[in-house]
Amino acid sequence: MVSSKAVSRESNKKTQPDIVSQSRKGQSSKRIKSETAEAIETLIVVPPDGGWGWLVVLTSFICNFTADGTMYTFGLFVNDISVSIGCTQTQVALANSLMTGFYYLSGPVISALTNRFGYRVVSILGGLISCASILLTSFSTQLITVLLVYGIGGGVGFGMMYMPSIIVIGFYFERWRAIATSIAVCGSSLGIISFPLIFTNLLENTQWRFKFKILSIACFFCACFSVLYRPLHPVRIVAIDDKKVQFANENESYTSVYLDDEKDVLFSKYHNIGYPTTADIHGRSTVTLAGPRRMSSASIFLNISGPSTSTIKSSIKTKASSTSRSKLSDVQSERLKTVYEEEEYGDNKLKNCCVRCKSRSCCKYSRRTRNIAPARPLYRDDIFYSGSLSILPEYRTSRQSSLIRYPSYEKSAIEYHLSVTRITTQRDIEERYAICVCCPVSMKRTLATMLDLSLLKSPSFLLLSFSGFLTLLGLYTPFLFMPQRAILYGMKPQIAYFLLSTLGIANTIGRIVSGIFSSFPHIKALLVSYVSLIICGCATIASSLSHEIWWQFSFASIYGLSIACVAALRPIILVDMLGLDKLTNGFGLSLLFQGVACLAGIPLSGILKDLMHSYDTPFYFAGVVILLSAIMLIPLDRIMKWEKSINS
C-alpha cells in the first residue's frame, strides 16, 4: 500500500546519481550517491472524500439494505417455512441463527480476503453466493437444506457483502467519514422498514418460495452494484523538507532493526503492530524495507556512517512504536534484498524475457505495473473507525503539520494518514502477481492482527467483549418473535408486521443521531452506550406488560432507537479504550464474541418459548441479558483508567 524512497528534486534536470554495484556473499547490491538536497517521496492512499465516493456510499447502502433487511425480517417467513417443510418454528429459526452467526464469525477471514483481492472482488462474490444460497433455499423441502444452504451459505455471502461495505467507507472518506458511514448503515434500517411492507402487502398472496426468489434477485443486483467499488491507487506525496540525504557508500555499514519476535508464531510474526507506519520511516535519510522471508521478522535497514563490520553488537533497546519493542543485538550485516536490488533483479529478468519474446513493450509494461505497491485497506489502523476523525487527537495534531509540509494537499491531513498506515513489504508486492500462493502475507497480516488473543489479557476489553456478547444474545429476539406475539394476542397480521417497519424507522433516526454524537469530542460514547442499553433492556422486559397496539408500537420505537446507538458507538469505545493501533484487533475479536452470541441467542429464545408455551418468556430473557450487558459497562471507565495506570 505504501512505499517510501528518497528522490532528488533536481534529478530530471541535473546529472543522475552515481550507481555502484558490488557483490556481497553472492548477492548483487546497489549503492547510490547523491550530494544534492533531497525530498522524501511517499506513495500513500489519500481518501478522495467525495466524488466517486458517494457512489461507493450508495453501493454500501444497497448492500446493507439487502443483507440486514433479509436477516432482521426473517420472522416474516418463519411460519410459512415451518408449515411448508413440516417442522417447528423454533427449528426454522435456527437457520436465522446460523446466518447471523456466520455473518459475524466469517468477518476476520473475509477481511483478509478483502485485503488481498480488494473490496470489489469480495463484494461481488458475496452477492453471487447470497443469490445462489437464497435461490437454492426456495427449492428446498428439508430442514437440513435450509440450515446449511440458507443459514451457513447465506451468512457467509452476506458477510462478504458487509465487511467490504464498511472497509470501503473507511478507505474513501476522511472529513465526511461519519456522515458517509451513517448514510451507508441506514440501508440496514431502510431494509427493516421496507421488507415487511413489500412481502406482507405487495406480495401478500404469494408463497415464501417466490419471495425468496425475489430476495435472490436483490442479492444479484448487489453483486452488480459492487462493481462501483472502484479500487483506490496510491498517490505520490513529496514533503517540503530541507534535509540532505546521503546514501550508503562502500565505507558505510548497515544495521538491522529487528522487530521483537521471540515466538515464531503467526501473531508475533505478522501482526500489523510489528510493522512500522509510513510516518516512522518517512523522515529518515535512507530506508530499505523487506518483509519476513525465511527469517522470522521484518527488517528495516538504516545506513550508519563508519567502517564496515561483519557483526554489530549492541545492548541498546529502542521503542519501535508506542506498543512494540525492537532490539539491536548480535545482528549480522548480511541483509535482505533492498528495493533497489529487487529493481535490478527485475530488470535483468525482463532483459532475458525480451531476448526470448523479441519485444520490449510488454516487459516495460510489466515492469511498470509490478513496481506499484498494492493498496491494502487493512494496513490502516483506522479502517474500522466509523466516527468523525476530527475528534481523534492524532488527526487534530497532524492536520496543522500537514498544511505546512504538504501545501498541495490542504484538504487532507497527510501526516495523519502516514501515521496510521502500515508499510507494504517487498514480499507483499511480489505475491500480488504470484500464481500460486497458499496464504499470502497480506492475508496473514490481517488474520494475525484481527485474531491476536493477547488482547484478551486486558480486563477492560474482556468486560466490553462479554457485554457485547450479552447484547447480541438478546438482540434478534424482538425481530424474530415480535410479529408472532402480536398476532397471537389478536393483532391483525398487516399491523403486526408493521411493528418491524416502525422499529426500522426508529433505528434510522437512532443511527443518524449516533453519527451526529460521534462528531462531538465531549460526548462520552461509553455513557451513551450503557444508558441506551439500560433503556433497551427495560423496554424489552416491559413489552410483555401489555399487548395493546399503542404499547407494542411504543416498544418497537424505543427498541429501534436505543439499539442503533449501541451498534454505531462500539468502534469509538474501542478506540477510547485500546487506542487506534489496536482497533483492528479489538474489532476482530468482537466479531467472534458477537458471532457466538448470535449462534446461541435465537435457539435459546426458541427453546424458552417452547418450554413455557409463551412468547413473553423470550422477551424477558432478551431484556435481562441486554440489561446485564449495560450493567457491565458502567464500571468500565474506572477499570480502563486503572489498567492504564498499571501499564504506565
For residues 375 and 447, the model is more confident at 447
Give the separation between CA 129 and CA 154, rounded to whole angstroms. Answer: 7
Residue 511 neighbours by CB distance under 10 Å: 25
Taking only the tens place, the pLDDT of each residue in 352-372 is: 544 444 444 444 444 444 556
- Contact between 249 and 31 under an 8 Å Cβ cutoff? The reply is yes
Interaxial angle between packed helices 78-85 and 89-105, expressed in degrees from 0 to 180 and rounded to the nearest 10: 120
For residues 124 and 267, the model is more confident at 124
Q: What is the mean pLDDT of residues 116-131?
A: 95
DSSP 8-state secondary structure symbol assigned to residue 26 = T
Instruction: Return the CATH superfamily for domain 452-648.
Output: MFS general substrate transporter like domains (1.20.1250.20)
Lowest average pLDDT, out of 25-39, 198-212, 629-643, goes to 25-39
Residue 246 neighbours by CB distance under 10 Å: 16
> Position of cell 525482463?
350
Q: Is the pLDDT of residue 175 over 80?
A: yes
Closest CA to 533 of 541, 544, 523: 541
Taking only the tens place, the pLDDT of each residue in 502-517 is: 999 999 998 888 877 7
Share of the chain above pLDDT 70, in %: 70
Q: Is the pLDDT of residue 2 over 80?
A: no
Q: What pLDDT score does 218 carry?
A: 95
Q: Is the pLDDT of residue 273 over 50?
A: yes
Q: What is the mean pLDDT of residues 452-476?
A: 93
Q: Which string of b and e fits 156-182 if b means at least 16 CB within 10 Å? A: bbbbbbbbbbbbbbbbbbbbbbbbbbb
Q: How far separated are the first and last CA of the chain, in Å rounded?
A: 33
- Contact between 269 and 261 under an 8 Å Cβ cutoff? The reply is yes
Helix (H) or strand (E) holding 101: helix 89-105
Q: What pLDDT score does 451 carry?
A: 92
Q: What is the mean pLDDT of residues 341-362?
A: 45
pLDDT class of 246 with cuts at 50, 70, 90 = very low
The partner residues of 277 in beta bridges, in order of sequence, read: 422
Whole-structure pTM value = 0.77
Lowest average pLDDT, out of 7-21, 50-64, 253-267, goes to 7-21
Give the separation between CA 477 and CA 182, rounded to whole angstroms. Answer: 24
Q: What pLDDT score does 268 carry?
A: 64
Instruction: At 205, list the grid cell.
Output: 398472496
- Contact between 256 and 330 under an 8 Å Cβ cutoff? The reply is no
pLDDT, mean over the chain: 76
Beta strands, E only, 235-315: 235-238, 252-259, 288-290, 299-305, 311-312
- Parallel, antiparallel, or unpaired for β 311-312 and 331-332? antiparallel
- Parallel, antiparallel, or unpaired for β 325-327 and 317-319? antiparallel
Portions of the chain given CATH number 1.20.1250.20 = 43-234, 452-648
Q: Is the pLDDT of residue 279 over 70?
A: yes
Q: What pLDDT score does 54 carry?
A: 94
CATH topology of domain 43-234: Growth Hormone; Chain: A; (1.20.1250)
Nearest-10 Cα torsion for 106, 111, 113, 118:
140
Q: What is the mean pLDDT of residues 571-581?
A: 88
Taking only the tens place, the pLDDT of each residue in 543-555 is: 999 999 999 999 9
Give the separation between CA 586 and CA 580, rounded to whole angstroms. Answer: 10
Give the separation between CA 164 and CA 62, rounded to whole angstroms. Answer: 13
Q: Is 206 helix (H, G, I), strand (E, B) or coil?
A: coil
Taking only the tens place, the pLDDT of each residue in 59-115 is: 999 999 999 999 999 988 998 999 999 898 889 999 999 999 999 999 999 999 999
The C-alpha angle 224, 225, 231, rounded to 5 degrees, equals 105
Closest CA to 415 of 42, 115, 166: 42
Lowest average pLDDT, out of 186-190, 332-336, 342-346, 438-442, goes to 332-336
- Parallel, antiparallel, or unpaired for β 288-290 and 299-305? antiparallel
Taking only the tens place, the pLDDT of each residue in 291-337 is: 433 333 333 333 333 333 333 333 323 333 333 333 333 333 333 33
Nearest-10 Cα torsion for 529, 573, 112, 136:
0
Give the separation between CA 381 and CA 2, rounded to whole angstroms. Answer: 14
Helix (H) or strand (E) holding 29: strand 27-33
Q: What pLDDT score does 494 carry?
A: 84
Q: What is the mean pLDDT of residues 32-44?
A: 48
For residues 61 and 288, the model is more confident at 61
